[in-house]
Amino acid sequence: MQKLVTMIGEERAALDPVNTFVEIDQVEGKEVVRVTKDPKVEAVDEPTFAKLIGSDFKNGIIEVTVLSKLLENAPDFARGFIGVAFRIDESNSKFEGIYIRPTNGRADDQLRRNRSTQYFSYP
């Protein structure tokens, strides 16, 4: 897993993959950062993200556009998770995050729709 240096907005940014792979890709003619879970990660609840490094950002607004696809080998209970982790410690073992579950947002079951957007603290 190799670090990626790219532009985020008008800032040069370095992304450090944590149990993921990061690469520059094109989606609908726009340059994007693709973050893909490392297939060696088999546990359900492992940290998988690209960590922005070298930034002194503390508190404020984080604005992103996301696109998610379920992995072909995803188990039935995996509904797809995509989001933003923040306040990540140096060892990547503690962080907070907010994520969306795109398939839940389109489900017929109201209970699943209620869980379309979630905040969490890890561990």
Q: Is 109 exposed, middle or buried (0-12, 13-18, 19+ CB in 10 A)?
A: exposed
**What pLDDT does 77 receive?**
67
How far is Cα 13 from Cα 49, in angstroms, rounded to an integer?
15
**Residue 53: φ, ψ to 5°:** -115, 155
**Cβ neighbours of 82 (radius 10 Å):** 14
How many angstroms separate the Cα of 120 from the Cα of each of 31, 32, 36, 53, 123? 29, 25, 21, 21, 9
**What pLDDT does 20 receive?**
93
pLDDT in tens, 15-33: 999 999 999 999 999 888 9
pLDDT in tens, 84-107: 999 999 999 999 999 888 888 888
